[in-house]
Amino acid sequence: RADIKMQYKQLWVWNLKLSDAGIYTCEYGTHKVRTSLHIFKLMISLNGHFLQNEVPELILMQNSSSPLPDLSITLFDSNNNRVTPELQNKSRQKYIVKIKKLGAMDSGTWVCQVHSDSPLINQNISFAVKVLGFQNPDLERKYATVDSTVILSWHLNSQEIKWKEGFTGQLNWKQQESAKSHELLDFNVTAQGQLHETKKSNNLLFEIPERKSESTIEVKLPKVHFNHSGQYQCQLEYQGRYAQSKIELVVMKVSANPAGPLSRGANMTLTCQVSGPLPPNAYLRWERVNGTKMDIKDSKQHEVRLEVNISTAGLWSCHLIEDSDKKISFHYHVEEASVWINYVIIGASIGGSLLAFAFGCLCIISGISWQRRRQRAKRMAQARQYLLENKTCQCQQ
């Protein structure tokens, strides 16, 4: 592992080891020159291949012929931001530090800066970090309306970091945290670094989109139902370790009672409902398009259902607002009943009233007639009894 360049009076040593540290003497005639070689060795756990949210461990070792100096360690991430490590173990020969949880954006070249005042040491040691994970937020929330089309996407960074080693994963769905999980699809990476997906479940009428970017996991719901809401969790597996990302799908629906055109003078109740709990900074709002402030109604905090009683036809909209931003809107057109329909309704009401009045009169007349017949029958029965009693008496005489 060594070679002497006589032309330049140099000693070349490669593949340095900690045991190579010490004092090297160059003798040339009666001249002697001594050089002290100080060696550092930096090791990173898992060979620098991590999944997001994992915590790397760094081990820095040193060796020297003189007493080992007390070192200070500073780390800089791939974006040249200073990172404060957590010191786990410290001895003059071995330093063990832990870094923060890694994210997908932490991939790249990191620098470990080693400093000592006596002897004076300022050494930068670079090392590679590859973090396989999702570029999605930690918990993403997506909104959709009933019967709309929605595509849920998880973006992996495997292409950006040129991850060549294999990994597998699956996509699960469940309506609530405690509900049973359903596996929708599983996937793996081919030898060429391409993702291959397989549909696993028919619980949902979902599709796997054909056109998509590399390293993207997608499911398409062509016609969203209210019960399609819930948590969609994409999970990665690499060498027995796991990383996951969730998308919360919230579905909105609108209904009217009674359904159909709104007659003059009548009222209708519009109901807007979402399938899951809303964050504290989100609420529902009913409003009539081109209406007044009197046509606006907001829900209270944590309410997932909002009703509004209306007497005016037109286009009504239910909005889900989060941080003053309309995330989704559901438009419901309330039609006004036609004039002839109003006349039919009025006529039907009057006719019904007259019919009820006539039926009542008929019942009264029938009752009086029945009462009279009953009284007449009673008097006739009494008369027959009287005659029968008189005839009996005459026969006895």
- Domain 22-127 listed as CATH 2.60.40.10: yes
The pLDDT value given to residue 344: 46
The pLDDT value given to residue 383: 62
The pLDDT value given to residue 391: 54
The pLDDT value given to residue 331: 94
Contact, 218 vs 209, CB < 8 A? yes
| Residue ranges of the chain whose pLDDT lies below 50 | 340-345, 392-397
Question: Which are the contacts of 191, defined by CB distance < 8 A and separation ≥ 6?
Answer: none
The pLDDT value given to residue 287: 94
First to last CA, the chain: 164
User: What are the tens digits of pLDDT across the range 22-73?
Assistant: 999 988 888 898 999 999 999 999 999 999 999 999 999 999 988 899 999 9
How is the chain split into domains, by residue range? 22-127, 140-251, 258-334
* 140-251 CATH choice from 3.90.1150.10, 2.60.40.10, 1.20.1260.10, 3.30.310.10: 2.60.40.10
Q: pTM score, two decimals?
A: 0.75
Judge whether 140-251 and 258-334 match in fold.
Answer: yes
CATH architecture for the domain at 258-334: Sandwich (2.60)
The pLDDT value given to residue 353: 61
